[in-house]
Amino acid sequence: MKVKPHTESGLKTWVGLAALVLAMGLFYFGIPALIAQNPEVYSRYYTTLSGIALLSMASAGVWLTFYIGRINIGQGVFCLFGAYISGILVVNYGMNFWYSAIWAGVICSLLSFLIGLPILRLRGVYFAMVTLISTQVATLVVQNLAITKQGRSFALPPPAALTLPGTDIVVIPAFTLEGAAVGFYFAAITLMILTFLGLYRLVNSRIGQLCKSLQQNEELASSLGVNIVWLRLVAYAISCFVGGVAGAFYGAQQANLNVSLFTVQDSVNFLLYCFMGGLNYVVGPLIGTITLRLGWDQLSPTGEYQLAIYALALIILMFILPNGLMSLVEEGKKWFIRPNHRQKLQSMSAQKPVKTVAKSAAKKRPKTAAKTAPKSNKGRK
Amino acid sequence: MEQVIANGLFTGAQYALIALGLTLIFGLMNVLNFAHGQMFVLGALFAYTIFNHIVELGWFLGMTPWLANILTFMVALVATLVFLAFVGALFERFLFRTVIKRSSRDESTMLLAAATAFLLDALLPMKHVFGELSHSLPALIEGSFSIEQPWFSDTPFYMPYSKVFIGGLALFLIAGFMAFMQYTKPGRAMRALAQDKIAAQLMGVHVDRFTMLGFALGAMLAGGIGALIVTITNIGPTAGSSFSIKAFIMVMIGGAGVVGGAIAGGFVLGMMESIVPTLLAPYDLANLSDLIIFAALMIFLSFRPQGLMGKPWG
């Protein structure tokens, strides 16, 4: 299928690549260099940041289900199961952690086929609620199984070395207790970057376009020959795979599993990270997770006021940027990247000022219409 | 058996009231109010505080203890209803309305609702608000109603008078709410809004005003039931989110946005919570009952998403 070339796509690609290189430089070299400045004080950021990287992976899964038009409050299920599957494989069956994490993802995506087949038919609030209940079910399952030790403390050893199969060549050295934080940091950011690159590739592929068609109108997509059942199952399975792997790593990083590792609250949090970042951009969940988690972490000296300040900040952000942090990019584009477009807007508003006012007045918002119309004209001059 | 059914009905009446408020807010505004359980806790602790401040006044006036208790409780209940309605109206006017108008997607309100839930969760346990302890009021009326030899079981049937009183009040509140929705003009306006917002607007229903009223009523019902339950069990300042989840489940059982459905959902969940552990007790599986209830509900909702009485795809 030929796509009409977009005028700014060249620029977009370069900006994207530059951002990727910058981000990788920051994560792989910048942050370790910063922490090396004062290791006693800053080394705790390795743990914080690897947690953020893993949670942003799980949020990326939630974002993908948003992309097919479903509100997913059930990612906690797969994170929790992923953590326990990996933990059980390592502790009870002596599997290497790195393989067990992959198995956690695979089993989670198989499970998601089973759950997804009935529940993916639901939409909107119905899907949201069933997934919310599923998180509660997962918590109760873990609490009632003997193999998970009733959800009480389940200690994990640090990951063993990963060698190439059949040889003694060490790919990833074994984690020591002291070095585990640094090791997990590099593992987590690598996984995070791979996840978001994969997600970007997926969204900009043919399958991504089809997923977007599901978001817009499932019946129409189906009538045009899109296999909607298969497509949403695949999207959900990918989302759950990512969640399972993230959960496995998160659990291993904590070195101790318990049932409160991922609760309903965490499932809701993943959703909030996506909203906070913005649902129109692949990096939205990453930006949202970094902002909210790092913000939460920085507020910890405030003690008992931590949650109150966090909640107030959320409410204020909601007022300023109700469409997420990435909506700033849209604003930025309007004023900085596309001067031609700005001129076009200016000439348009100069020609038909009456129409804009009439249009917004028709929305039965006389107050806001009167306010915004002159303001926007002023801005455009 | 009678005991189990009576307990189920009692819990069901309480649950139905919680679910009613949530479904009203959802039906009117399409907002999943994550802070509903927190409203419930706010109501409970507010009523507790008011009760303790004024109960001595009744004793001072020389009333018998049970009369003083009941009169004070009624005053505290009314104060709670008014206060929670006020809080709900403020939330709608200054938070939800603004964000709904500014954001491009309806679902963004979920973030706001969760943030308000966090805020209440943080504020309620503070030292100068309610403190971290959980509270409950003493039994309003002493004594209990009992049948030594009930018809279907060997164990005697037993129901404290205060539970009967609270259950009666809950039923009265449900009936009052239904009558309000059914027979008054604001109630009709809200039903019209829940059915079709644009059509209602075209017929001259003042959307903003009635949305605010609906949110206030929802919060009021949650607070009212909190005030009722605090006389029976302990309620802590951070118990809100678990009640929110239960309220969501009840709303889904009955059908999102349907008033009758919320009542049905409340009674169904109340009965299940009472009956399932009793049925499982002989097999030594009673601690699995929550899991079984939730799993059954998930399966039910997967195959009948609109619940008992909802319209598909709400």
| Residue A358 clears pLDDT 80, i.e. is over it | no
| Residue B2 clears pLDDT 80, i.e. is over it | no
Question: In this structure, is residue B314 part of a structural domain?
Answer: no
> Chain B 79-108, CB below 8 Å of chain A: which residues?
95, 98-99, 101-105, 107-108
B95/A314 CB distance under 8 A: no
In chain B, which residues have their Cβ closer than 8 Å to the Cβ of A122? 301-302, 305
Question: In this structure, is residue B152 part of a structural domain?
Answer: no
| Residue B209 clears pLDDT 60, i.e. is over it | yes
Instruction: Point out the domain boundary residue: A307, A330, A353.
Output: A330
How many CB atoms are located within 10 Å of the residue A113 CB? 14
Of all residues in chain A, the one with the smallest CA distance to B31 is A125
Of all residues in chain B, the one with the smallest CA distance to A309 is B119
**Is residue A137 domain-shared with residue A159, that is, in the same domain?**
yes
**Is residue A232 domain-shared with residue A299, that is, in the same domain?**
yes
A126/B98 CB distance under 8 A: no
In this complex, the residue of A134, A323, A364 whose CB is nearest that of residue B298 is A134
- Residue A76: pLDDT band with limits 50, 70, 90: very high
> Nearest 5°: phi and psi at B186?
-60, -40
**Is residue A311 domain-shared with residue A353, that is, in the same domain?**
no
In this complex, the residue of A305, A311, A364 whose CB is nearest that of residue B115 is A311
Count of A-B CB contacts under 8 Å: 130
Q: What is the pLDDT of residue B312?
A: 59
**Is residue A144 domain-shared with residue A124, that is, in the same domain?**
yes
In chain A, which residues have their Cβ closer than 8 Å to the Cβ of B34? 268
Distance from CA of A278 to the nearest CA of B (A): 10
Q: How many residues does chain A have?
A: 381
Distance from CA of A141 to the nearest CA of B (A): 7
Of all residues in chain A, the one with the smallest CA distance to B310 is A126
- ipTM for the predicted complex comes to 0.84
Q: Under a CB-based contact definition with an 8 Å cutoff, are residues A340 and A294 in contact?
A: no
Question: In this structure, is residue B151 part of a structural domain?
Answer: no
Mutate to test the interface with B, among A275, A302, A320, A360 (most CBs of B within 10 A): A275
**Is residue A298 domain-shared with residue A344, that is, in the same domain?**
no
**Is residue A90 domain-shared with residue A174, that is, in the same domain?**
yes
| Residue A361 clears pLDDT 80, i.e. is over it | no
B298/A129 CB distance under 8 A: no
B201/A122 CB distance under 8 A: no
**Is residue A24 domain-shared with residue A80, that is, in the same domain?**
no
Range of the domain at A29: 9-41
**Is residue A87 domain-shared with residue A37, that is, in the same domain?**
no
B110/A275 CB distance under 8 A: yes
> Chain B 37-56, CB below 8 Å of chain A: which residues?
none
A319/B32 CB distance under 8 A: no
pLDDT tens digits for range A136-149: 889 988 988 888 88
Q: What is the pLDDT of residue A375?
A: 43
Question: In this structure, is residue A3 part of a structural domain?
Answer: no
Q: How many CA atoms lie within 13 A of B282 on its CB side?
A: 2
**Is residue A244 domain-shared with residue A364, that is, in the same domain?**
no
| Residue A380 clears pLDDT 80, i.e. is over it | no
3-state secondary structure string, chain A? CCCCCCCCHHHHHHHHHHHHHHHHHHHHHHHHHHHHHCHHHHCHHHHHHHHHHHHHHHHHHHHHHHHCCCCCCCHHHHHHHHHHHHHHHHHHHCCCHHHHHHHHHHHHHHHHHHHHHHHCCCCHHHHHHHHHHHHHHHHHHHHHCCCCHHHCCEECCCCCCEECCCCCCEEECCCCCCCHHHHHHHHHHHHHHHHHHHHHHHHCCHHHHHHHHHHHCHHHHHHCCCCHHHHHHHHHHHHHHHHHHHHHHHHHHHCEECHHHCCHHHHHHHHHHHHHHCCCCCCHHHHHHHHHHHHHHHCHHHHHHHHHHHHHHHHHHHHHCCCCCCHHHHHHHHHHHCHHHHHHHHHHHHHCHHHHHHHHHHCCCHHHHHHHHHHHHHHHC
Q: What is the pLDDT of residue A56?
A: 94
The mean pLDDT value for A2-30 works out to 75
B115/A318 CB distance under 8 A: yes
Domain count, chain B: 1
Mutate to test the interface with B, among A122, A126, A304 (most CBs of B within 10 A): A126
Of all residues in chain A, the one with the smallest CA distance to B124 is A308
Three-class DSSP category at B310? coil
Please state, in angstroms and rounded to a whole number, the distance separating the CA atoms of residues B164 and B172: 12
Amino acid at B207: V
Percent of chain B with pLDDT over 70: 96
Across chain B, mean pLDDT equals 86
B98/A133 CB distance under 8 A: no
Q: How many CA atoms lie within 13 A of A142 on its CB side?
A: 28
B252/A130 CB distance under 8 A: yes
The mean pLDDT value for A367-374 works out to 44
B241/A310 CB distance under 8 A: no
> Chain B 272-301, CB below 8 Å of chain A: which residues?
287-288, 290-291, 294-295, 297-299, 301
Across chain A, mean pLDDT equals 82
In this complex, the residue of B101, B116, B252 whose CB is nearest that of residue A129 is B252
The distance from CA B125 to its chain's CA centroid, rounded to whole angstroms, is 20
Q: Which residue has the higher pLDDT, B148 or B181?
A: B181
Question: In this structure, is residue B40 part of a structural domain?
Answer: yes
Distance from CA of A269 to the nearest CA of B (A): 9
In chain A, which residues have their Cβ closer than 8 Å to the Cβ of B272? none
| Residue B42 clears pLDDT 80, i.e. is over it | yes
B302/A129 CB distance under 8 A: no
A272/B114 CB distance under 8 A: yes
pLDDT tens digits for range B186-205: 999 998 888 888 899 899 88
In chain B, which residues have their Cβ closer than 8 Å to the Cβ of A150? none
**Is residue A367 domain-shared with residue A271, that is, in the same domain?**
no
Of all residues in chain A, the one with the smallest CA distance to B307 is A126
Question: In this structure, is residue B158 part of a structural domain?
Answer: no
In this complex, the residue of B101, B103, B256 whose CB is nearest that of residue A323 is B103
Distance from CA of A271 to the nearest CA of B (A): 8
pLDDT tens digits for range A249-302: 999 998 889 888 898 888 999 998 998 888 888 889 999 999 999 999 888 888
Domain count, chain A: 3
> Chain B 147-186, CB below 8 Å of chain A: which residues?
none
In this complex, the residue of A118, A119, A271 whose CB is nearest that of residue B110 is A271
Of all residues in chain B, the one with the smallest CA distance to A120 is B302
**Is residue A58 domain-shared with residue A29, that is, in the same domain?**
no
The mean pLDDT value for A228-252 works out to 93
Return the CATH number at B72.
Answer: 1.10.3470
In chain A, which residues have their Cβ closer than 8 Å to the Cβ of B107? 71, 275
Q: What is the pLDDT of residue A351?
A: 54
In chain B, which residues have their Cβ closer than 8 Å to the Cβ of A275? 107-108, 110-111
B305/A276 CB distance under 8 A: no
pLDDT tens digits for range A142-180: 988 888 888 788 888 888 878 777 777 777 877 877 778
Range of the domain at B196: 2-121+130-143+163-303
Mention every residue, 6+ apart, whose C-beta is less than 8 A from residue B181.
B187, B188, B190, B191, B259
Q: Which residue has the higher pLDDT, A354 or A9?
A: A9
Question: In this structure, is residue A84 part of a structural domain?
Answer: yes
Radius of gyration of chain A (CA): 23
**Is residue A310 domain-shared with residue A198, that is, in the same domain?**
yes
B302/A311 CB distance under 8 A: no
Question: In this structure, is residue A4 part of a structural domain?
Answer: no
Q: What is the pLDDT of residue B32?
A: 85
